[in-house]
Structure 1
Amino acid sequence: MPSARSRRLRKQRTRRNPTDAWLLWTFFGWLGAHRYYIGDWKKGIAMTVTLGGLGLWSLLDGFFLGRRLRRINSGRL
């Protein structure tokens, strides 16, 4: 069973800055840069290969990025 200290350290490591994520989405969303930043590297690769789903996937991520960041930062992945 993990100790309280290891859980706290893991939570600190997964904390992502929302400003950084939004800036990445704004300028490089079509490449999936925000997905790499928040740890969704498999979806990031898919976005890079499809150029953000030809823009549609990137646009939709704009609606859901805030909620995903809150989940990651609260530790509920």
Structure 2
Amino acid sequence: MKKQHAITLSSLLDHLKGFAPDSEVIFGDGDLRFYRTKSRGPKLVQIEFSTLYSVNPGQEETRNADVKES
């Protein structure tokens, strides 16, 4: 089974503190289009995009190597 990468909603909201409520948000390089949120369990929310994309094996580790989770 593929590992799911997730953060808590609380952590996501902490990252967004300080931004004006009318700030625009982009996803990825601005190439992903937000579609909806969907409940996948009592404490699991999925954010869905209406954009199809492919990921090259190993690319994620290289691209996010310097990103640290809080």
Q: Determine which structure has greater relative contact order: mean sequence separation of CA pairs < 8 Å that are 6+ residues apart, divided by chain length.
A: 1
More strand by share: 2
Q: Considering the TM-score relative to the shorter chain, is it more than 0.5? A: no
More helix by share: 1
With the shorter chain as reference, the TM-score category is: under 0.3
TM-score normalised over the length of structure 1: 0.27
